[in-house]
Structures are given as C-alpha cells and as structure tokens.
Amino acid sequence: MSHSTLRAAIVGSTGYGGVELIRLLHAHPNVTVTSVISSSSAGAPIAEGFPHLTEIRTDTLDGVDPELIRSKADVVFLATPHGVSMKLAPEFLAAGLKIIDLSGDFRLKDGEAYRKWYKHEPAEAAQVEQAVYGLCEVFGKEAAGRPFISNPGCYATAAILGLFPAVEAGWIDSDSLIIDAKSGVSGAGRGLSLSAHFSEINENFKAYKLNKHQHTPEIEQALARAAGRPVTVTFTPHLVPMTRGIMCTMYAAQPGKRRSDAEFVELYRKFYEGRSFVRVRHAGQWPATKEVWGSNYCDIGFSNDERTGRVTIISVIDNLVKGAAGQAIQNLNLSMGWEETLGLQFTPAYP
Ligand SMILES: NC(=O)C1=CN([C@@H]2O[C@H](COP(=O)(O)OP(=O)(O)OC[C@H]3O[C@@H](n4cnc5c(N)ncnc54)[C@H](OP(=O)(O)O)[C@@H]3O)[C@@H](O)[C@H]2O)C=CC1
Ligand SMILES: CC(=O)N[C@@H](CCC(=O)OP(=O)(O)O)C(=O)O
C-alpha cells in the first residue's frame, strides 16, 4: 500500500456504514484504507465475513487499539454506535488524528437535548464544541481545515437539504413544518433485531419513534440557523420494505405570497449552485429513491398546492451514501481542501 496518500482507519468496519466506507474509499484517489477495525472480530480476515470485498481487502481486522491506529492512520472514521464514538474520539484527537464521526454523539450542541433524545449522557461539552456539524451543502465552509467533523444523521440530511433554502428565504412558515420520512431497513444497522427481521418488514410499512426520534432536535438545530429563531418540527419516520433509501415528504404553509413550483426550483437551484450532489428537479418532476441508489446525490422536487397554500417538498437520498459514508468522505474532502466530489462521482445504480 502506498503511503503517499492519506491513510484512513475505519472503526466499525463490520457494520453497514463501515463496509460502505471501505467500498467508497477504494475508489478515492487520495486515500488508502490502512486499517479496518472491529471490537469483536479482531484477527479475522475481513473478506471472510464480507466476501464482496475479496479482491480489495486481503487483510485482517485490527482491534480497537489507539496506539496501533495512530501508527497506521492519519484520519479515523468512527462508524460506531452513539455512546461508543464519544469514548473513542478524545484519544484519537489528542493523538493529532483527524476524526470523522458518523454517530449522533457530537451533532447536538445542547447537552440537555442529547440527554433527552438519545437517553444517554452527552459527550464532554468542550469536545462537542470542537466538532463541526458537517452538512456539506449548507455548512460545508465550516469544515475547511478542521480536524473533527460530526457527520449528520441520515433522515436529518434529507430533511434539512429539502427545507433549509425555503426556511431561510422566509417562503415557508417554520412553525408549520411536517416531515413524513421513510427509510429502508439498512438504516437500522447490521445488528439483528425483531423489528428489522424479514417477516416483520416484508410487505409491511410502519411508523416508529413518533415524536421521539433522535433526529428531530438535529433538524430543528439546523433549521433554527436558517430561520434565525427556534424551530420545532413534526417528524414521523417509517420503515419500508427496501434495503437502501430515504424519502422525506415535507409539508409547509406559505405565510405570504404563494410561490409556483418553478419559483421554488429557481430558489433551490440558486442556493445549491455549484454543489454537484444536490439535484433540483424541474417543476412537475418528483424524485424516487431508486434514482439516487448507491450514489451521493440528494434529489429534491416541489409541488405548490394552490388550494391549501401548502407546498410539498420531496427529498431522497441513499441512507448509506449521502446519509452516512458518502457524506463522511465529502466532509473529509472539504476538511482537506480537496474537490468535494473526489472519489464520489457515482451514477446511481438503476433499476
Ligand atoms: N445505517 C445507516 O444508514 C446510518 C448509520 N449512521 C450511524 O453510523 C454509525 C454506524 O451505523 P451502522 O454501520 O449502520 O451500524 P452497525 O450496527 O451496522 O455497525 C456498527 C459497528 O460498530 C461496531 N462497534 C460496536 N460497539 C463497538 C465498540 N464498543 N467499539 C468499537 N466498535 C464497536 C460494531 O462492530 P464490531 O462489533 O465488529 O466492533 C458494528 O459493526 C451509527 O452511529 C449510526 O447511527 C448514520 C447515518 C446512517
Ligand atoms: C431505519 C432506522 O432504524 N434508522 C435509524 C437511523 C440511524 C441513524 O442514522 O441515526 P443516528 O446516527 O442518529 O443514531 C433510526 O431511526 O434510529
């Protein structure tokens, strides 16, 4: 392996986010994955458990050994559950490693909100403060040169990208926001659970964590920056019988002038100008999850309802790419000062 590139370690390499990072980073011209890490399977060849990686990874999993990781890597991706990332990040940071954390541990700036929504003690306030919230197309400039990025949640990514420009422009009433979200089952991770097994999911469609989902305060925190005042949203996630994909169908009242679909398209195209991964559909075309599958795109469409005065905004992403590993790499690119698209220019797999 060449060390002329940035060396990356992935903690949580046996999870869906970690395995997706391995796949995507293999195509990155400036990064070499030098350590794949597992807390439960150290010493095992990674391709044993993940035969789809056979040609690209002949190595064995390392244990969670900060000394070893420090000697092998420049950047560490933490694809670990919340509660675990907050234990690992401080040691790696102290050692001068760059950190991209995929968990929810460092996203919420308010420790009380973390305690309430994650039902867990928050990370040290100083560390939370140090972490940049990496929603690339909205706050991407803040990531430049920074050593510690907190990657957004999957639902939060789709919801915020879909709502931020209209809230900031004052075109929609930020007290009226309803986010009706649907996710494929890989969003729940690789661990086995009753709610995610085949006969519970197949031919089924169910809502969960109503008014209690941990991405609610994350969405509100970001939209408050758009509105310039506190925002509360109604957020209802659903599980749908597919593997990848998130669709957010969002409803908002228009307090003043009602805008046409074409006006929304123009506003959003201007807001996301020069940002390759947000594709604003033309008026009358609404995106579907298959149209972003396996890619780092977020596609957005609109429908203004003349009768009710509400606008419906649809956004879709692949939860494992733009919602996790892809955006994490985009954040690495931004923090390194590289082109944000580096290693991420995949056309979605279709059908
Ligand atoms: N799945 C998704 O679509 C998204 C996930 N996320 C977030 O990304 C993170 C990873 O998610 P995902 O890959 O889906 O989850 P998985 O459950 O699939 O994987 C998590 C991995 O973390 C590792 N792990 C567990 N405990 C520890 C520990 N104490 N020390 C080190 N490693 C540990 C496990 O590997 P091992 O037992 O081998 O150590 C496991 O493979 C989570 O925080 C999740 O919330 C964010 C956005 C989207
Ligand atoms: C389908 C499904 O179960 N999805 C997960 C989202 C996981 C995630 O991205 O959440 P954090 O990173 O904030 O933990 C959930 O609803 O909790």
* C-alpha 219 – ligand 1 centre gap (Å): 21
**What pLDDT is recorded for position 86?**
98
Picking from 136, 70, 126, 80, the residue whose alpha carbon sits closest to that of residue 104 is 80
Please check whether residue 41 lies inside any domain of the structure. yes
Q: Which residues, at least 6 apart from 155, have a Cβ–Cβ distance to it below 8 Å?
A: 179, 181, 183, 187, 213, 215, 219, 235, 237, 246, 248, 323
β-partners of residue 236 are 180
State the ipTM, two decimals. Answer: 0.98
Whether residue 292 is found in the same domain as residue 178? yes
Contact by Cβ (8 Å): 30, 342: yes
In whole angstroms, give the CA distance from residue 91 to residue 102: 17
C-beta atoms surrounding 133 within 10 Å? 24
User: What's the rounded mean pLDDT across residues 259-276?
Assistant: 98
Active site residue 154: yes
User: What's the rounded mean pLDDT across residues 77-100?
Assistant: 96
pLDDT tens-place string over residues 197-219: 999 999 999 999 999 999 999 99
Contact by Cβ (8 Å): 172, 163: yes
Pocket probe mutation, ligand 1, options 10, 39, 120, 214, max atoms within 8 Å of Cβ: 39
User: What's the rounded mean pLDDT across residues 40-44?
Assistant: 97
Whether residue 204 is found in the same domain as residue 275? yes
Whether residue 105 is found in the same domain as residue 179? no
Q: Which of 94, 114, 130 is the last residue of a domain?
A: 130
User: What's the rounded mean pLDDT across residues 25-29?
Assistant: 97
**What pLDDT is recorded for position 91?**
92
Please check whether residue 74 lies inside any domain of the structure. yes
User: What's the rounded mean pLDDT across residues 111-125?
Assistant: 98
Instruction: Tell me if 310 CB under 6 Å of ligand 2.
Output: no
Based on C-alpha coordinates, what's the Rg of the chain? 20
In whole angstroms, give the CA distance from residue 287 to residue 290: 9
Instruction: Tell me if 317 CB under 6 Å of ligand 2.
Output: no
Q: Which residues, at least 6 apart from 147, have a Cβ–Cβ distance to it below 8 Å?
A: 93, 97, 98, 99, 335
* C-alpha 271 – ligand 1 centre gap (Å): 33
**What pLDDT is recorded for position 233?**
98
Q: Which alpha helices (DSSP H) does the chain contain, by range?
A: 16-25, 46-49, 66-72, 85-94, 111-118, 125-130, 136-139, 154-169, 198-201, 216-227, 261-271, 326-336
**What pLDDT is recorded for position 3?**
47
> Would you say the C-alpha torsion 278, 279, 281, 287 has a positive or negative sign?
negative
Whether residue 167 is found in the same domain as residue 280? yes
* C-alpha 14 – ligand 1 centre gap (Å): 8
Q: Which atom of ligand 2 is nearest to the CA of 209?
A: 16
**What pLDDT is recorded for position 305?**
97
Instruction: Tell me if 183 CB under 6 Å of ligand 1.
Output: no
Instruction: Tell me if 186 CB under 6 Å of ligand 1.
Output: yes
Whether residue 284 is found in the same domain as residue 172? yes
Whether residue 166 is found in the same domain as residue 305? yes
Report the mean per-residue pLDDT for the chain.
97
In whole angstroms, give the CA distance from residue 12 to residue 324: 13
C-beta atoms surrounding 163 within 10 Å? 27
Tell me the pairing of strands 132-133 and 148-150: parallel
CATH number of 78's domain: 3.40.50.720
**What pLDDT is recorded for position 256?**
86
pLDDT tens-place string over residues 288-347: 999 999 999 999 999 999 999 999 999 999 999 999 999 999 999 999 999 999 999 999
**What pLDDT is recorded for position 198?**
95
Instruction: Tell me if 329 CB under 6 Å of ligand 1.
Output: no
Collapsing DSSP to helix, strand or coil, 34 comes out as strand
Q: How confident is the model at residue 2 (pLDDT cuts 50, 70, 90)?
A: very low
Task: Domain of residue 314: give its range.
Answer: 155-319
* C-alpha 191 – ligand 1 centre gap (Å): 9
User: What's the rounded mean pLDDT across residues 73-91?
Assistant: 97
Q: Which of 95, 130, 165 is the last residue of a domain?
A: 130
CATH number of 272's domain: 3.30.360.10
Amino acid at 249: T
The number of domains in the chain is: 2
Instruction: Tell me if 189 CB under 6 Å of ligand 1.
Output: yes
Pocket probe mutation, ligand 1, options 16, 85, 106, max atoms within 8 Å of Cβ: 16
CA angle 267, 223, 228 (to 5 degrees): 90
Please check whether residue 346 lies inside any domain of the structure. no
Instruction: Tell me if 21 CB under 6 Å of ligand 2.
Output: no
Write phi, then psi, for 64 (nearest 5 degrees): -80, 85
Q: Angle at which helices 216-227 and 111-118 pack, to 10 degrees?
A: 140
Q: Which atom of ligand 2 is nearest to the CA of 215?
A: 13
* C-alpha 64 – ligand 1 centre gap (Å): 14
**What pLDDT is recorded for position 1?**
44
Q: Is the pLDDT of residue 286 over 70?
A: yes
pLDDT > 90 fraction of the chain, expressed in percent and rounded: 97
Picking from 297, 227, 310, the residue whose alpha carbon sits closest to that of residue 261 is 310
Whether residue 183 is found in the same domain as residue 307? yes
* C-alpha 128 – ligand 2 centre gap (Å): 20
Q: Which atom of ligand 1 is nearest to the CA of 41?
A: 38
User: What's the rounded mean pLDDT across residues 172-181?
Assistant: 97
